[in-house]
Amino acid sequence: MKDKRSFFERLTGAVNPQESDAPDAVESRRLSIGGRGSKRPLSETDEMAPEEGELTVDVYQTSDDIIIKTIVAGVRPEDLDISITRDMVTIRGSRQESNEVNEGDYFHKELYWGSFSRTILLPQEIDVDASEASEKHGLLNLRLPKLDKSRQTKLKVRSS
């Protein structure tokens, strides 16, 4: 039996609304709602909430920084919301679909449109104030300087 779900539906475990009446499709959505690999059951509020896509990311380190890269093609930089703490980054945004084409004229429709987010727990604390974000050709780059907990400095005592 061939899986007729779109690439995005197979990748994220999302359910096509036309097929969501099938019991196994509902169960599949119930298991996939908390993000990739999550097995958190749906609550009553989850079932009413609009579905949100999850960004794919590359996260790596250099000697001084943690780097996060993700594709945000089709999203204006001012429509991105990036929240960072010393140990976590959340990227939120939305891709708006233009209504230039009638639904019945599509042969394939696999691009993801709508809101998306991704929260990444960082392996090390970062300097929030020195962090930088840049976007070029749809690739979002976050440079997050690592905090050096072993760094020491000497304080001079002033007399009054």
Residues 73 and 136 in one domain: yes
Residues 77 and 132 in one domain: yes
Residues 22 and 71 in one domain: no
Residues 122 and 74 in one domain: yes
List, in sequence order, every residue forming a beta bridge with 140; answer none if it has no partner.
70, 135
Residues 134 and 96 in one domain: yes
Answer with the residue of higher pLDDT: 73 or 14. Answer: 73
pLDDT of 131-159, one tens digit each? 999 999 999 999 999 997 777 777 788 88
Residues 66 and 136 in one domain: yes
Select from 79, 69, 77, 70 the least CA-distant residue to 115. Answer: 79
Select from 144, 154, 158 the least CA-distant residue to 69. Answer: 144
Q: Domain span at residue 16?
A: 1-50
Answer with the residue of higher pLDDT: 111 or 85. Answer: 85
Residues 130 and 78 in one domain: yes
Highest mean pLDDT out of 1-5, 15-19, 107-111: 107-111
pTM for this model (two decimals): 0.62
Distance CA 141, CA 43 (A): 34
Q: Mean pLDDT, the chain, as a whole number?
A: 76
- Count: domains in the chain: 2
